[in-house]
């Protein structure tokens, strides 16, 4: 598929892949699914991902920041939304007024929450976050128990959920997740005994959803797996999942150079003989890392990126694809013919994780939806 006129590189997001991935997850877990769409839907485009995920059966959306929730509400998304992170006091009333659920993790939040609910003219919908071992946002289990008790007494607060987050669920051999789960279930038993259990108890991220059925509880929070990407090298996706995103461009220039010609800034690459060099209008300004060892697909073959990646352009060596010409499709991420460059492969080259690869795709790269 070609992009809209004037776009030099673009992302193709396959709606059908997201639908299939969500369907697999719903069948696998048998519980409600929260589509985690923070960081612009992991780079896939937050609004469209939510529309597709909800149509596929997701019943909740998870965002990191309240601004993301507001963006979804402005787009007409009516599905339940939970802000998984911190919400500044000055934005509480707006969030409550737009029926956005908020994360509470400290008793000091109660007073401002109640005041904001009064301004908004409706009860604040909240989920209490428990720190069972992530050492990030969250109340220690004993404090979380007290917090739930205090919140349930407030007529202007509706406690909808309680949740925790696993630090090492993508390391299946590590005992930390089992320990965190035990702490959370112990707290849950106390909560239930006191009659404080909210409707939604959730803990599992993508890795836990795939490997620890005991953590599924009332709802799973699915981010990376929804987009068809492996939670980690130790937790690959099962058969049937497919990546939803491809990154494409066109060759904009092809030129043959003699031996000893320096290519790009610093001339760190010099031609070894007569070489055809192509230019691709993608650079680190779009989220393509300035590292050595990159490759792209042209005519179904991997060709090396040579020279330094620039802000807006990169150069490729075309000797193995002599038929390559200006206007030919270049695939930086995704399929072309029988070849495939996966986000996991790029992450290895960039010494990072696939999450960062897709979340780092620049806002100036248009998203084109297919399927």
Catalytic residue selected from 2, 38, 227, 284: 38
The conformation of residue 237, written as its DSSP 8-state character, comes to P
The number of angstroms, rounded, from the C-alpha of 167 to the middle of its chain's C-alpha atoms is 17
Name, in order, each residue with C-beta under 8 angstroms of 279's C-beta and a sequence gap of 6 or more: 251, 252, 253, 254, 313, 314, 315, 316
Residue with tokens 């992530």: 134
Catalytic residue selected from 42, 129, 153, 265: 265
Residue 297 CA to residue 246 CA, distance in Å, equals: 12
Note if 265 is an active site residue. Answer: yes
Residue 365 CA to residue 114 CA, distance in Å, equals: 42
Q: Say if CB 184 and CB 144 are below 8 A apart.
A: no
User: Got the DSSP string for 138-182?
Assistant: -B-HHHHHHHHHHHHT-TTEEEEEEEE--SSTT-TT-THHHHHHH
Q: What is the dihedral of CA 172, 175, 176, 180, to 10 degrees?
A: 100
Q: Say if CB 299 and CB 321 are below 8 A apart.
A: yes
Residue 88 CA to residue 96 CA, distance in Å, equals: 12
What 3-state DSSP class applies to 95? helix
Note if 2 is an active site residue. Answer: no
341, with CB counted inside 10 A (0-12, 13-18, 19+), is buried
Kindly list the catalytic residues: 38, 265
């Amino acid at each position: 598929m070609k992009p809209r006129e004037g776009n030099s590189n673009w992302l193709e997001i396959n709606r059908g892949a997201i639908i299939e991935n969500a369907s697999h997850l719903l069948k696998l877990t048998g519980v409600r699914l929260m589509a985690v769409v923070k960081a612009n839907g992991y780079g896939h485009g937050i609004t469209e991902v939510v529309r597709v995920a909800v149509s596929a059966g997701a019943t909740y959306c998870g965002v990191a920041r309240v601004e993301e929730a507001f963006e979804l509400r402005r787009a007409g998304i009516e599905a339940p939304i939970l802000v998984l992170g911190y919400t500044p006091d000055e934005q509480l009333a707006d969030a409550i007024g737009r029926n956005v659920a908020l994360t509470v993790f400290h008793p000091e939040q109660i007073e401002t929450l109640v005041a904001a609910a009064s301004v908004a003219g409706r009860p604040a919908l909240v989920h209490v976050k428990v720190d069972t071992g992530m050492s990030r946002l969250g109340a220690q289990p004993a404090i979380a128990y007290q917090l739930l008790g205090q919140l349930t007494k407030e007529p202007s607060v509706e406690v909808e959920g309680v949740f925790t987050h696993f630090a090492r669920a993508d390391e299946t051999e590590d005992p930390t997740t089992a320990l965190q789960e035990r702490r959370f279930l112990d707290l849950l038993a106390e909560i239930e005994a006191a009659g404080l259990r909210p409707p939604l108890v959730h803990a599992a991220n993508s890795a836990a959803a795939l490997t620890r059925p005991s953590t599924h509880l009332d709802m799973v929070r699915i981010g990376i797996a929804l987009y068809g990407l492996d939670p980690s090298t130790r937790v690959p996706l099962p058969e049937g999942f497919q990546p939803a995103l491809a990154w494409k461009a066109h060759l904009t220039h092809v030129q043959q150079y003699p031996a000893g010609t320096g290519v790009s800034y610093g001339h760190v690459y010099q031609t070894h003989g007569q070489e055809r060099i192509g230019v691709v209008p993608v650079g680190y300004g779009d989220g393509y890392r300035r590292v050595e060892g990159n490759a792209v697909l042209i005519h179904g073959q991997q060709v090396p990126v040579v020279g330094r990646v620039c802000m807006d352009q990169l150069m490729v060596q075309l000797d193995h694809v002599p038929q390559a010409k200006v206007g030919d499709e270049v695939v930086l991420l995704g399929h072309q013919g029988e070849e495939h460059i996966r986000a996991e492969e790029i992450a290895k080259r960039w010494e990072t994780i696939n999450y960062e690869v897709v979340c780092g795709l620049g806002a100036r790269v248009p998203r084109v939806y297919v399927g």
